Amino acid sequence: MFALLPALALLAVSASAQNTSSTVTERDIEGLEANFKQAQLVPQLISDFEPEALLSVSFGGQAISIGDKLDKDAVASSPELTVSPAPDHDLDAGALYTVLMADANAVGTDQNVTEQTRHWLVNGVSLSGDTAPYTVNYTGATTITDYAGPGPFEGTGSHRYVIAVYEQGSDFAAPANLSTSGVALGTWFLSGYVSESKLGDLLTANYFQVENGQATSTAEATTSVDSATLAAAASTTGASGSAASGASATSGSASGASGAGTSATSAAASASGSSGAGAASGAGKTGVAAGMIMGAVGVVGAVVGAAL
C-alpha cells in the first residue's frame, strides 16, 4: 500500500529543494553510515550496518540531527519516529519491525564486555502512510520495555543512545523473559538479543548523546566532524551541522541537573537488580570510566542533518 515506487522516488528527488524531510539521497545513507562508524558504534556495537532508510527522531516535535548532544530533559519522553527509505529500497506493506533504544555508553566502551542499557523495546510495530516519511505505528505492537529517558551517571562521559528499527520477520521469536509488556529498563547485549530473537536486518537507526556533568577523564571532548570527508557530501548544506555542534556546547556544560539523572538511573538499576542485571550494570559503569581515556577523540555531531 505504501511501497515506494521508483517513480515516486524520482518525484521526491526533484522536489528536494522544497521538501528535504521526505527525500532521501544516497549521500544521506552514506552520511548515516559514516556517522555510525565515526561514533564507533559500527562495528563496535553493530557489526554490519547497511541502512535501507533514514530514521527521523523528534522529541516534542523537534527533529534531532545524527549524534546531537542533548539535555536529558529534552529527551525525557519518547520520540516520534518516521522512516524514509533509500532511493533504491521499497518497504513491504504489512511488514513488522522492532524498535529499540540502547545506551552504548561513552566512546571507548567495549561493547562485547559491557552490556548496553535497554531503554526502550517494542515488537511488532508497523509503518503507516501513503508516502515517505512513513510514521512508526504502534497499533497492535507489544511494548516490552516502556521508553525510559536517559539518566547517565555523573562523570561517565557522553553516552550514545542508539534508536534502531529492525526488520522483524516471521521467524522472530522474543526471548522468554522479553516477551511480555512491563519489563523494566535493564542491561543486555544488543547483538545477543538480535541473534537470539532472530531479528532481521537493521533497517535504519539514529543516535543522540547525553552527558551528565564533567567527564572524569581530562580529555573528554565532543567534536563536530565535517562530513566533507565523504566524497559524495562535498556540496551539502552544513548549516544544520553547525547548529548541532552549537547546541552540544550548550547542553554539554549543563552539569547542574545531575541529581535527577542519577536518581533515574539508580531507580532503573534497582528495578532490574532482582534479575541480576543490576550487578552487570554496575560493572559496566566501571568499564566506562576506564574506556573513556581511549575514547577521548570524541563523537561526531556531523553534518548530515539535511534529510532529518
Nearer to ligand NAG, 240 or 258 (CB): 240
Nearer to ligand NAG, 242 or 275 (CB): 275
What's the closest the beta carbon of residue 204 comes to ligand NAG, in angstroms?
17
Cell matching residue 102: 540502547
Is 142 in contact with 180 (CB distance < 8 Å)? yes
Nearer to ligand NAG, 90 or 110 (CB): 110
Residue 69 per-residue DSSP state: B
Q: What is the 3-state secondary structure (H, E, C) of 93-120?
A: CCCCEEEEEEECCCCCCCCCCCCEEEEE
Nearer to ligand NAG, 70 or 86 (CB): 86
What's the closest the beta carbon of residue 135 comes to ligand NAG, in angstroms?
6
Please give the Cα distance from 36 to 61 (Å, whole number).
24
What's the closest the beta carbon of residue 184 comes to ligand NAG, in angstroms?
8
What's the closest the beta carbon of residue 47 comes to ligand NAG, in angstroms?
6
Nearer to ligand NAG, 43 or 259 (CB): 43
Is 269 in contact with 184 (CB distance < 8 Å)? no
Max CA distance (Å), the chain: 55
What's the closest the beta carbon of residue 77 comes to ligand NAG, in angstroms?
18
**3-state DSSP assignment of residue 71:** coil
Please give the Cα distance from 240 to 237 (Å, whole number).
7
What's the closest the beta carbon of residue 169 comes to ligand NAG, in angstroms?
19
Cell matching residue 166: 529492525
Please give the Cα distance from 215 to 257 (Å, whole number).
14
What residues line the site for ligand NAG (CB under 6 A)?
18-19, 21-22, 110, 112, 126, 128, 131, 135, 137, 139, 175, 177, 183, 186, 275, 277
Main-chain dihedrals φ then ψ at residue 90, nearest 5 degrees: -100, 150
Nearer to ligand NAG, 79 or 301 (CB): 79
